[in-house]
Amino acid sequence: MLFHKLPDSLQEMAMEIYEFCPDVIDQGFGCMDDILVMMSKSGQKMDELTKALLEGVNMNNPDFGLKILENALKTEQKVSLWWD
């Protein structure tokens, strides 16, 4: 889903997206901690998009996936939705 205009509160929008499609976080952005470990173990360097997604994110916060979703909305102005 591509957005031409985003609301002022990306935090609220991220919560609404999560309520509508929890897999965006549960099987997507909320898995970024595991992805970072795999990247590190394989020697893969973090690209600029990943750095942008992680800006201001506290990976020790259990809701870090929501913050990454906010950053994705701000950076890419889009989100991919899916269900199992």
> Rounded to whole angstroms, how far apart are CA atoms 75 and 73?
6
Q: What is the pLDDT of residues 54-63, one digit of tens each?
A: 999 999 999 9
pTM across the whole model? 0.90
Q: State what percent of residues in the chain have pLDDT above 70.
A: 99
Q: What is the pLDDT of residues 7-36, one digit of tens each?
A: 999 999 999 999 999 999 999 999 999 999
Give the pLDDT confidence score for residue 82 in this predicted structure: 79
Does the structure show a pLDDT above 90 at 84?
no
What average pLDDT does the structure give for the chain? Answer: 94
> Rounded to whole angstroms, how far apart are CA atoms 70 and 12?
9
